[in-house]
Structure 1
Amino acid sequence: MQNRYPLWKYLLILGVIALGFIYSLPNLYAPDPAVQISGQSGATQIDQAMRERVERELDQAGIEYLSTELGENSVLVRLPHEDGQMTARRELQELLGGDYVVALNLAPTTPDWLVSMGGAPMRLGLDLSGGVHFLLEVDTASAIETRQNITADEMKTTLRGERIRYSALEVNDDQSIVGRFRTEELRDQALGLVRGEYDNLLFNTSESGSDEFIFTAQLSEAAVAEIEDYALGQNLVTLRNRVNELGVSEPVVQRQGGNRIIVQLPGVQDTAEAKRVIGKTANLEFRLEAQSDTLVSMKEEFPYRSETDRQRFGGAELERQIILTGDHVANATSSFDPETNMPQVNITLDGLGGTKMHRATRNSVGRRMGVLFIEHKTRTEHQTNEAGESVEVRENYVEREIISLATIQSALGKQFRITGLESPAEASELALLLRAGALAAPMYFVEERTIGPSLGAENIQTGLKSVVIGLGLVLAFMLVYYRVFGIFANLALLANVLLLVAVMSLLGATLTLPGIAGIVLTVGMAVDANVLIFSRIREELKGGASPQTAIYSGYERAFVSILDANITTLLVAIILYAIGTGPVQGFAVTLSIGILTSMFTAIMGTRALANLVYGRRRNLKKIWI
């Protein structure tokens, strides 16, 4: 009677194993190769008409496809073979133009009834299934130009404050600041005033005739190197934040050379979204609207971003002087305007940004302030080379558009909102980009490709074969050495692997080759627990205990040793996850989950089977162990 489980425990074990079986099933359905079409901007709408257009283009190009699906602002095209992915992507990109992103994808084939229950396959790491590889180039020259423009604006403010007149103060194509004055005395006064404030600039003087006196300010080599290093470092941090916003597991974001960054995203399902969010250099500039008497050289005209406003107003003139940029945004969230029910972005500035905004708007109440949305984009065009082959040509360009031009009702501070956005998707995307951090310099895609297993398909097959062989040998050993109890251990071991796969699928964990090693170690840990239990039962039988007492004592007395060993290993796995990166974390995650599932199957699972077979036998004389 002491080796009988209550009914609820049997039902619990059966329920857990049934759920494990259901949630591990999605891993049996291989995904379809596919391409996904989405807008270059979150405001671009993808509808049924676009889906029909894609189907027509595919038919005309003679590209075989399985089906097309209209998703949330995207069209997914399922293909029968991986070989057709690159051809379909190239043809569609050429036909649709630069306003759309055509990206390679893997479309899940999990049945709807499993999806409705939350079932999804495990993500596979780069070393097992590959992923997306981006190589981006940071435009460090733009970062230097931006710094010089800010310095030139600061110099203008300083000279105006001291009433020193200048003919022009601007940044040349060689990224040097050039100040022009009518007299030598004014130039020398200005030079004496600004030279001490900018120790990172090298100043020189020159003359152009008798009526123009010039000074030039060029960044020193050390200052240029510092700006370039800062731009690359800031972009690395921002990219990591954006990848985290995307929820990608075990990404690789690292520096390559002096001005390039590698981004690798394993297991990504929506590569189009990843490319749009990661590659976009979105920033904001806040400028006052130019007044009627503003000099032509001090103002610039920009179009509206909204198609409706562009048709009604065309554009608007803003002052060249920038109040502040998106670099000062501490937080950004999207919501809806309660009065108009239109999408908006709620902005919170940092301390310096709030001070600058208040200083600029307190004396400008009644004037209008424009919010300029700036994007650095890459346009891909197909051209025919001398050999008559179609080649991709990438062209970098900048879009500057007004998303809001509103009257300043009162002095603004750290918190305010941006309206004038066309859709909730655009508002959400802008908030994400600002929240993740502004890029210190524009970036452009140099290379985009999908990458296969880093260790090669042959090595992966060999590794999986070794796991199967090792598992088979363990099962055979347990069966031969422990007989009936070996059958109990083997069934629990298979249930353990099933539960491990199910839990990893539910958590969305990424399986890597080191993760498979973690599964192998988990199998060893589970067998080790059964060996301790069965050895204890044998000792009890040799000591003269009855079979029922030996079974009871074996499980009860071995429990402490099993718990101690597993907790120690679990602590090591947690430490590995905390201090490790990439593959090490993959190993730690698999090992941690495996330890928890093996504790359940090795102790409760095998004991339930032993109780079921031997528990009701009152006059049990012998057990096969």
Structure 2
Amino acid sequence: MLQIPLWNRILIILVLLAGISFAMPNMFYEQVERHNDAAAEIEATGVTSDAAAEALAGWPEFLPSTLVNLGLDLRGGAHLLAEVQVADVYEARMDALWPEVRDALRDLRDTVGTIRRSDAPPGELNIRVSQPEGLPEAVAAVRALAEPVVSLTGVGASTLDVSAQGDTLIVRLSEAERQATDDRTMQQSVEIVRRRVDEAGTREPTIQRQGADRILIQVPGIGSAQELKDLIGTTARLTFHPVVGRAGSADERPEARQIILPSVDEDGVFYILEQTPVVTGDDLVDSQPSFDQQSGQPVVTFRFNPHGARLFGEYTAANVGAPFAIVLDNEVISAPTIRQAITGGSGQISGNFTVESSTELAVLLRAGALPAEMTFLEERTIGPELGADSIAAGRIAAVVAFVAVLAFMILSYGLFGVFASVALILNVGLIFGVLSLIGATLTLPGIAGIVLTIGMAVDANVLVFERIREEMKNAKGPARAIELGYERALSAIIDANLTTFIIAVILFALGSGPVRGFSVTLGIGILTSVFTAIYVTRLFIVTWFDRARPKKIEV
């Protein structure tokens, strides 16, 4: 007999109601969006302004407030393709390694004589010794500083490649460590860019690694590509250097391992600094905008982790009365004199800050310094008007597809076609409900996936209805024909949709950007289409059949 258990019917109805309830906020997009923004603002600040309270009251709290996020091509925004200069990290690694190498070679002074660091290509550390006959022992001592490469491809390899040439010891990163460093640099760059964009409060940005050294950055709702570059393009690298002296211009030639940097606050003043910093912003754990208690001027406070606090405390304790420079992105922010040991691991950066600039600097420092410089290869700004046109075009395509499919089903299958058409409408609602629930981003290719799903959604119903027709021709009764139609069409429905779903999964795993947007909506559409065809349409037909009890059915 053609039956659906009561618990099964209740479960189907509950799934439909849940999907529609999660999809419904998208019909009042701007209203719900203002409500969500106000809720986020109140949660972040703890203060409820009149505007926030009004926006919060614009949508009932007991209703779902999840929305489908609109992608860059629908909302407008900025697109950047950046290239990370991963080779810059090699030079920084060598600078950081020099103190350890120097200490290791000092223990061999009787063997190698005096040691001196000499100029070397970027990413190399060259040390000249006065007694070349001691180089084999020096090579062994420096190799002892190496560690195993931390990567799957570099198992068993060492981080350093140490060799000797003439009277010079040459240290460089091994090839395996370079590959591992490149990978870590890219991961760190992607994460820091994501943090900086998130700090700015943007919605659903797309930040993905592309290839070996490139990052794709797409941020909906931002004004221009330049605004996005200003947000993420600054390395915000904070370092603390010993001050050697002052220079009249940047053209003076400093001694080896010294640099000349300009002062931000003092026009025409340049500082000569030791190139190797005492401590860097990598050891920062927090940074906040604040006000100086004496002058009332905006400042930026910072706090080091235990490692940075120890280095900072040891240096300031040993150099009381000496100046040191706070350097941000190769500019001296300030060069105060150390009046006492700073052992607390915290301090403040003062300068000609405004409230906005101090807040921006604190955000950049808190997000972390980019490990290497980024070069922008491609930039594009998409205006909101273009996004609105894309939405309108997608809406027209969906409506045309809807009307065509509904007309075909009703003309071909009569009342059963009406049931399939209602199920199709519910299917689209379920798609948007799932997209809202998982916080997916809808792009123009995603709309194409939904339109394609509309066309494919009735395939399962066509298989079932055609099978019912065949059973009716074999002189089966209406109830038996419907039951056999669903049973014998099920395997074909599963096979056809499973193969398409596998393709959607492959597109999601291997694709990026627009391809992923298409695969997400296509995959979700396949799942909801199978559900509505096997369960929802069948529920309609069985409910109608129980009430009408027809002796004959026309499919």
Sort the TM-score into its range (normalised by shorter chain): 0.5 to 0.7
* Pairing of 1:194-209 with structure 2 (within 5 A): none
* Pairing of 1:62-77 with structure 2 (within 5 A): 72=44
1:524 positional shift: 3.1
1:265 aligns with 2:218: yes
1:238–1:202 CA distance, 2 compared to 1 (3 A) = same
Equivalent position of 1:24 in the other structure: 23
Equivalent position of 1:84 in the other structure: none
Preserved contact between residue 332 and residue 431 of structure 1 (Cα < 8 Å): no
1:503–1:269 CA distance, 2 compared to 1 (3 A) = farther
Q: TM-score, normalised by structure 2?
A: 0.60
1:122 positional shift: 1.1
1:368–1:531 CA distance, 2 compared to 1 (3 A) = farther
Preserved contact between residue 465 and residue 485 of structure 2 (Cα < 8 Å): yes
1:577–1:375 CA distance, 2 compared to 1 (3 A) = farther
Preserved contact between residue 375 and residue 398 of structure 1 (Cα < 8 Å): yes
1:133 aligns with 2:79: yes
1:582 positional shift: 1.9
Equivalent position of 2:530 in the other structure: 599
Preserved contact between residue 126 and residue 451 of structure 1 (Cα < 8 Å): yes
1:462–1:277 CA distance, 2 compared to 1 (3 A) = closer
**Partners of 2:325 and 2:231 in 1: how far apart?**
15
**What stretches of structure 1 of length at least 5 have no aligned partner?**
35-68, 80-107, 180-185, 206-214, 289-296, 301-317, 335-342, 378-395, 409-417
1:251 aligns with 2:207: yes
1:252 positional shift: 4.3
1:469–1:273 CA distance, 2 compared to 1 (3 A) = same
Equivalent position of 1:53 in the other structure: none
AA aligned opposite 1:15: L
Preserved contact between residue 175 and residue 218 of structure 1 (Cα < 8 Å): no
**Partners of 2:177 and 2:371 in 1: how far apart?**
9
1:613 positional shift: 1.6
Residue by residue over 1:467-486, the C-alpha shift from the partner in whole angstroms, topping out at 9 and shown as x without a partner, is 32122111101011111011
Equivalent position of 2:270 in the other structure: none
**Partners of 1:528 and 1:30 in 2: how far apart?**
31
AA aligned opposite 1:503: V
Preserved contact between residue 126 and residue 266 of structure 1 (Cα < 8 Å): yes
1:546 aligns with 2:477: yes
Preserved contact between residue 519 and residue 591 of structure 1 (Cα < 8 Å): yes
Preserved contact between residue 138 and residue 443 of structure 1 (Cα < 8 Å): yes
1:546–1:229 CA distance, 2 compared to 1 (3 A) = closer
AA aligned opposite 2:69: R
**Partners of 2:319 and 2:28 in 1: how far apart?**
55
1:110–1:480 CA distance, 2 compared to 1 (3 A) = farther
1:610 aligns with 2:544: no
* Pairing of 1:442-481 with structure 2 (within 5 A): 442=373, 450-452=381-383, 461-481=392-412
Equivalent position of 1:291 in the other structure: none
Preserved contact between residue 74 and residue 390 of structure 2 (Cα < 8 Å): no
Select 1:515's aligned residue among 446, 456, 466.
446
**What stretches of structure 2 of length at least 5 have no aligned partner?**
34-40, 143-159, 243-255, 260-272, 288-300, 350-358
**Partners of 2:161 and 2:481 in 1: how far apart?**
84
Q: TM-score, normalised by structure 1?
A: 0.54
Residue by residue over 1:6-53, the C-alpha shift from the partner in whole angstroms, topping out at 9 and shown as x without a partner, is 2x4444344333333332233234549x9xxxxxxxxxxxxxxxxxxx
1:400 positional shift: 8.5
1:157 aligns with 2:156: no
Select 1:239's aligned residue among 189, 197, 221.
189
* Pairing of 1:98-109 with structure 2 (within 5 A): none
AA aligned opposite 1:540: E
**Partners of 1:234 and 1:374 in 2: how far apart?**
27
1:11–1:346 CA distance, 2 compared to 1 (3 A) = farther
**Partners of 2:335 and 2:376 in 1: how far apart?**
22
**Partners of 1:374 and 1:552 in 2: how far apart?**
79
Equivalent position of 1:578 in the other structure: 509
* Pairing of 1:55-204 with structure 2 (within 5 A): 72=44, 112-113=58-59, 117-134=63-80, 146=92, 149-150=95-96, 153=99, 156-157=102-103, 160-161=106-107, 162=109, 164=113, 188-189=130-131
Preserved contact between residue 325 and residue 332 of structure 2 (Cα < 8 Å): no
Preserved contact between residue 284 and residue 326 of structure 1 (Cα < 8 Å): yes
**Partners of 1:446 and 1:76 in 2: how far apart?**
43
Equivalent position of 2:245 in the other structure: none
Preserved contact between residue 254 and residue 262 of structure 1 (Cα < 8 Å): yes
AA aligned opposite 2:75: S
1:375 positional shift: 7.8
Classify the secondary structure of the residue corresponding to 2:217.
Answer: strand
Residue by residue over 1:306-338, the C-alpha shift from the partner in whole angstroms, topping out at 9 and shown as x without a partner, is xxxxxxxxxxxx9986688677x8x9899xxxx
* Pairing of 1:214-613 with structure 2 (within 5 A): 235-242=185-192, 248=204, 250-254=206-210, 263-267=216-220, 278-279=232-233, 281=235, 376=328, 397=331, 433=367, 439-442=370-373, 450-452=381-383, 461-613=392-544
**Partners of 2:319 and 2:551 in 1: how far apart?**
92
AA aligned opposite 1:2: L
Preserved contact between residue 237 and residue 328 of structure 2 (Cα < 8 Å): no
**Partners of 2:554 and 2:302 in 1: how far apart?**
72
Equivalent position of 2:14 in the other structure: 15
1:126–1:542 CA distance, 2 compared to 1 (3 A) = same
1:130 positional shift: 3.0
Q: Which stretch shows the higher mean deviation, 496-505 or 566-575?
A: 566-575
Preserved contact between residue 472 and residue 478 of structure 2 (Cα < 8 Å): yes
Residue by residue over 1:482-531, the C-alpha shift from the partner in whole angstroms, topping out at 9 and shown as x without a partner, is 11011100000000001101110111111122222322332233201101
AA aligned opposite 1:157: D
1:345–1:567 CA distance, 2 compared to 1 (3 A) = farther
Alignment size in residue pairs: 457
1:585 positional shift: 1.7
**Partners of 2:101 and 2:409 in 1: how far apart?**
82
**Partners of 2:3 and 2:218 in 1: how far apart?**
51
AA aligned opposite 1:238: Q
Equivalent position of 1:61 in the other structure: none
Equivalent position of 1:2 in the other structure: 2
Question: Which structure shows the bigger proportion of residues in helix conformation?
Answer: 2
Equivalent position of 1:210 in the other structure: none
Residue by residue over 1:449-476, the C-alpha shift from the partner in whole angstroms, topping out at 9 and shown as x without a partner, is 7434899876765454333212211110
Identity over aligned residues, as a percent? Answer: 37
Preserved contact between residue 548 and residue 615 of structure 1 (Cα < 8 Å): no
Q: Which stretch shows the higher mean deviation, 126-135 or 488-497?
A: 126-135
1:407–1:111 CA distance, 2 compared to 1 (3 A) = closer
Equivalent position of 1:315 in the other structure: none
Equivalent position of 1:340 in the other structure: none
Classify the secondary structure of the residue corresponding to 2:73.
Answer: coil
1:578–1:611 CA distance, 2 compared to 1 (3 A) = same
1:299–1:497 CA distance, 2 compared to 1 (3 A) = same
1:577–1:136 CA distance, 2 compared to 1 (3 A) = closer
1:512–1:406 CA distance, 2 compared to 1 (3 A) = same
AA aligned opposite 2:551: K
